[in-house]
Structure formats: C-alpha cells, structure tokens
Amino acid sequence: MTAAPGTDDAIARRTDEIISGLIGLEGPLLLIFHALQAEYGHVPAAALPRIAERLNISRAEVHGVMSFYHDFRSHPAAAHVVKLCRAEACQSLGADQLAERAQEKLGTGFHGTSADGKVTLEAVYCLGLCACGPAAMVDGKVVGRVDEARLDQILKEVRA
C-alpha cells in the first residue's frame, strides 16, 4: 500500500530514498538536508527521525545541525522569496532604507511572509555583488543596483 504524498509515511519513504543515494559520501548530512529542501521547499519534521536512524546519530544531533544553518527551513516559504542584502557594501548605498521600504510595503518583518501570503522577505548577508549594490535575490535570480523604483517593480511582479 502506498502512502498518499505529503503524509508522514510518504515523507519518511522518500527520505529513505534520498539518504540511500547520498549515504556513500563522506559527511552526507548537509547534502541530505539540501536535497529534502529542494524537493519539499523545507525540511519536513517527519524526515528527521529517519535521518537519525539511518545515519546512526541522535535526533537531537539532527535537529541541532538543521537548526544551526540559516538556510534550512522547518516550514515552507511563500511562493516567492525576496532576499535583500543587508551587509556593509549594500548599506553604503542605501540598503537600510530599501529594507524599511520593503518591510512596510509587504507588511512584514524579515523572515516573515506578507499578509497576502505571496512573498517571504529575507535578509541575506552578502551576495558578492558588492560593486553593484544594493543587491537582492528574487526567487533565486540576482538583481543589482536596486533603488526604490526597482524594488517597487520587483514587489509588484512577485505579488501579481
């Protein structure tokens, strides 16, 4: 009997397959988290006990590693993710004002989702675009020289 997709059983089964593909590599835990997040948009809680069992480490260790890294989500993000760089080089070109504007327009703080549920706003510390800041990443695509008009356009597009 196959479990319906999205149920804990189905997730545990899929986690097993992912682990089997990666367990031969040295230090595979981050690779497993990345693979799960690529598939589900987050690391589902139901996957953690399976990982602990297969890697022969404690569930606390699995949880500890996952929660250490900013990238791994325990819950899915909105359909669109806007990351604004908040590091020094972008600050020198007005990133703080942009950050305020974005929070105001979306009605959410960083690491939150807009009231319409369409956009998750995140802070990022450096995208390596320090000579063409302020920088952003919109659904994985990099954008340079973000001014107020460009930000407004980005937010309009992702909320459309």
Partner 1 sequence: MKVYVPRDAAARALGADEVAAAVLREAKARGLDVTLVRNGSRGMVWLEPLVEVETGGKRTGFGPVTAADVAGVLDGTSKKALGPVEELPFFKGQTRLTFARVGLIDPLSLAEYQAHGGLEGLRKALGLTGEAVVKEVTDSGLRGRGGAGFPTGIKWETVRKAPGPQKYVVCNADEGDSGTFADRMLMEGDPFCLIEGMAISGIAVEASKGYIYIRSEYPDAIEVMSAACDIARKEGVLGASVLGSGKAFDMEVRVGAGAYVCGEETSLLNSLEGKRGIVRAKPPLPALQGLFGKPTVVNNVISIASVPVVMAKGAAFYKDFGLGRSRGTIPLQIAGNVKYGGLYETAFGLTLGEIVEKIGGGTHSGRPVKAVQVGGPLGAYLPVAQFDTPFGYEEFDAKGALIGHAGLVVFDDSADMRKMARFAMEFCAIESCGKCTPCRIGAVRGVETIDRIGRGDVVAIPLLTDLCETMKDGSLCALGGFTPFPVMSALRHFPEDFTANAKEAAE
How many residues touch partner 1 under the rule CB under 8 A: the total is: 42
Residue 142 found at the interface with partner 1 (CB under 8 A): yes
Residue 77 found at the interface with partner 1 (CB under 8 A): no
Nearer to partner 1, 70 or 107 (CB): 70
Residue 30 found at the interface with partner 1 (CB under 8 A): yes
Residue 35 found at the interface with partner 1 (CB under 8 A): no
Helices 95-106 + 148-159 axis angle, to 10: 30
Distance CA 95, CA 105 (A): 15
CB of 47 to partner 1, least distance (A): 15
Residues near partner 1, by CB under 8 A: 25-31, 33-34, 55, 64-65, 68-72, 87-93, 124-133, 135, 137, 140-145
